[in-house]
Structure 1
Amino acid sequence: MPESPEVQALAEELDERLRGRTITGVDVLEFRAAKTRSRPPSSLEGERIAGVTRHGKLLDVAVEAGAHLVVSLGRHGWGRWADETADPAPGERPPALVSIGFDEGPALELTDAGGWVSLGLWVVDDPREVPAIAKLGPDPADESFTRTDFDEAFVGRRKQTKAVLQEQESLAGIGNAYSDEILHLAKVSPVAHASTLTGEELDRLFAATTGVVRTAIAERRGIPIDQQKAAKVAAMRVHGRTGEACPVCGDEIRDFSFASTTAQYCPTCQTGGERLPLRPA
C-alpha cells in the first residue's frame, strides 16, 4: 500500500510535470473508481492544473477554476506515465483503470491491482468533502507536528501501538510497512497497548515516528515514480524481511498476524523474546 513518503514523491513529480498543463481527456475504464457520479472526472476536461499536493495517503489535483480531483490509491493503486519504459516483467503490469490526457506530454495512468477495486476518484470543490480527508489526524511529516499531537494520539489509549500508528484519524499517512519500521526503531512491541507505554518508550516512539516518515520522504524525493515501489522495498529494515537477520541484534525477523494482513517484528528488540501469534495458512 502506498504510504505518505511514496505518495509525497508521486505528488511532487506530478506537480512538477503537470502544473500549467490542460486536461484534454479523462477515460475511466473502471466505473467503480469514480465516486462522485454527478461530477465525473471527465468534467475536468479543458481545465488547467494549478498544482498537485498530498493529504495523508491521498492525492489532490487542483485546477485553476477551483475544483479538485482527489485520488485515493487504496491498497494497490499507483500512477504511471503512458510512455514509461521501466515496466515490470510481462504479466506483472497492473491494469490502468483511469487514463488522463494533457495538451503536452504523456498521459497519466492510474492503476490498481488485487481482487477488488481500491482506487477511488472524487471531483469536489473542497478536498475536505472527501470523508477520508475530512477525518485525517495530524501528519508526522509536517514540521508543525508536535509532541502534543503525538500524545493526543497515544497517551491513555487502550489500543495496540501498531493500530494507533495506522489509524488515519490519529496520525495521517502511515500504513503497515512504516508502522513496522517505526516500532522496530523505537524498540516497542506492536501489540502493546498505548496506555501501557512508559515515558521513555513514548519518547522513543515519537522520535521514531517523525524520523522514519521524514527520512523516507527525503529519500524517495526525486526517484522516478516507476521506481518508487522498489526503492521502498529496498529501504525496509524489518518489514517484508521475514527470516532475515535483524540489522540491530541479529535475531530472526518474524511474521505476526495483524488485522487482515501480516506484519514483521524482531522478538529480541521488541517483545522481550516473545513470539507473537501467526494465523495458520
Structure 2
Amino acid sequence: MPELPEVEALALDLRGRLDGRAIVKVHVAAISALKTFDPPLTALEGALVDDVTRHGKFLDVHTSAAHLVLHLARAGWVRWRDEVPTLPPKPSTKSTLAVRVVLDDGSGLDITEAGTRKSLAMYLVHDPHDVPGIASLGPDPLTDDFTVETLREILTREGRKQIKGVLRHQGTIAGIGNAYSDELLHAARMSPFKPAGSLTDEELGTLYAAIRDVLGDAVARSRGLAASELKGEKKSHLAVHGRTGQPCPVCGDTVREVSFADSSLQYCPTCQTGGKPLADRRLSKLLK
C-alpha cells in the first residue's frame, strides 16, 4: 500500500508533469472507484491543473474546477503515459485499469488497481475536506506542529492500545501504514505490542525521533523519482517489513512475523522484544 513517503513523491512527480496542463476527459473503467456524483466528472473537461498535493495517504489534484482526490488503497497505483489510446477504455473485471485521465497534449494518467479486492477510491469535490477520510485525518507526522508533546498526548489518550495499531490508525496520525509502522518501531527498538500509554519519557523521545527520521529519510530518498521507480525504492530500503526469515540488518537475528486475518507485521526479536518471539495468533489457532 502506498504510504506517506510514496504519496508525497507521487504528488511531487505529478506536480511537475501536470502543471499548466488541461484535463480533456476522465474515463472511469471501474465504476466502483468513483465515490461522488456532484460535481460530475464532466466538470473537469477543460479544467487546468493548478497543483498536486497530499493529505495523509490521499493524493489531491487541484484543478480550476474542483479537486480530484485519490486514495490508492492496498493495491492501487498511478502510471504516467506519454500517449494514451484514442479509444476510451471499456469497463472490465479482468483489467487492472480503474480510471484514465486524458490531458490536452495526448498524455495522461492510468490509475490502476491489482487484485480482486477493489478498494481504490476517487472523489471529485470542491473542498478536499468534503472527503470523509480526509476530514477525519489525524495530524501529519512531518509537519512542524507535530511535536513530541503532540505524540505524548496521542499515546496517553490511546492508553492500553498496542502501539502498532495506534501508529497505523489514520484518524490518530495521518500517513503511516503497515510497512512504515514496522520500520519505525524497529528503528525505535520497540515491541509492536507495547501499550501506547506506557512509554517512558526516553522511549517517547526515541519513538518521536524514529517517526521523523524514518519517514523523513524515505521522503528524501523518493524525492525526484518517477512514479515507476517508487515501489522499488521503498522495498530496497525496508529493514524488517516484508523480510520474514531474512537477517535483521542491525543485529543479524532472523526477522519474524505475526499474521492476522488480512495483514501481518514483521519485527526483530533481538532489537525489539528482548529476544522473545511474539505469539503468532493465526498459528496458535491452528495448533489448538
Q: Is the 8 A contact 2:245 2:254 kept in 1?
A: yes
Task: Describe the superposition over 1:121-172 as per-residue Cα deviations: whole angstroms up to 9, x where unpaired.
Answer: 1111110010110011111122332112211221252210010110111111
Cα 1:240/1:228, change in 2 over 3 Å:
same
Q: Is the 8 A contact 1:34 1:40 kept in 2?
A: no
Equivalent residue, structure 2, for 1:46: 46
Q: Is the 8 A contact 1:12 1:53 kept in 2?
A: yes
Equivalent residue, structure 2, for 1:225: 227
Equivalent residue, structure 2, for 1:15: 15
The code of the aligned residue for 1:74 comes to A
The code of the aligned residue for 1:21 comes to R
Which secondary structure does the structure 1 equivalent of 2:217 belong to? helix
- Indicate the larger mover: 155-164 or 207-216: 155-164
Q: Is the 8 A contact 1:139 1:171 kept in 2?
A: yes
- Rounded to whole Å, the distance in 2 between the matches of 1:199 and 1:149 is 13
Which secondary structure does the structure 2 equivalent of 1:191 belong to? coil
- Indicate the larger mover: 233-242 or 197-206: 197-206
- Percent identical pairs in the alignment equals 50
Equivalent residue, structure 2, for 1:138: 139
Which secondary structure does the structure 2 equivalent of 1:132 belong to? helix
- Rounded to whole Å, the distance in 1 between the matches of 2:38 and 2:206 is 47
The code of the aligned residue for 2:74 comes to R
Which secondary structure does the structure 2 equivalent of 1:207 belong to? helix
Which secondary structure does the structure 2 equivalent of 1:155 belong to? helix
The code of the aligned residue for 1:152 comes to E
The code of the aligned residue for 1:223 comes to L
1:248-267 matched pairs, under 5 angstroms = 248-258=250-260, 260-267=262-269
- Indicate the larger mover: 97-106 or 121-130: 97-106
Q: Is the 8 A contact 1:49 1:63 kept in 2?
A: yes
- Rounded to whole Å, the distance in 2 between the matches of 1:170 and 1:76 is 23
TM-score by length of 2: 0.90
1:116 is the counterpart of 2:117: yes
- Rounded to whole Å, the distance in 2 between the matches of 1:269 and 1:275 is 11
The code of the aligned residue for 1:161 comes to I
- Rounded to whole Å, the distance in 1 between the matches of 2:260 and 2:16 is 37
Equivalent residue, structure 2, for 1:70: 69
- Rounded to whole Å, the distance in 2 between the matches of 1:259 and 1:57 is 23
How many residues are matched?
Answer: 272
Equivalent residue, structure 2, for 1:195: 197
The code of the aligned residue for 1:182 comes to L
Task: Describe the superposition over 1:178-230 as per-residue Cα deviations: whole angstroms up to 9, x where unpaired.
Answer: 00000000011001111222221111111101111111001011111011111
- Rounded to whole Å, the distance in 1 between the matches of 2:36 and 2:12 is 25
Give the superposition deviation at 1:40: 3.6
TM-score by length of 1: 0.92
Give 5+ residue unaligned stretches, structure 1: 85-92
Give the superposition deviation at 1:260: 2.6
- Indicate the larger mover: 95-104 or 251-260: 251-260
RMSD: 1.7
Q: Is the 8 A contact 1:41 1:121 kept in 2?
A: no
1:269 to 268, 271, 281: 271
Q: Is the 8 A contact 1:239 1:264 kept in 2?
A: yes
Q: Is the 8 A contact 1:180 1:265 kept in 2?
A: yes
- Rounded to whole Å, the distance in 2 between the matches of 1:237 and 1:96 is 32
Equivalent residue, structure 1, for 2:155: 154
Q: Is the 8 A contact 2:162 2:195 kept in 1?
A: yes
Give the superposition deviation at 1:42: 3.5
Cα 1:257/1:198, change in 2 over 3 Å:
farther
Q: Is the 8 A contact 1:24 1:45 kept in 2?
A: yes
Equivalent residue, structure 1, for 2:78: 79
- Rounded to whole Å, the distance in 1 between the matches of 2:166 and 2:99 is 33
Give 5+ residue unaligned stretches, structure 2: 84-93
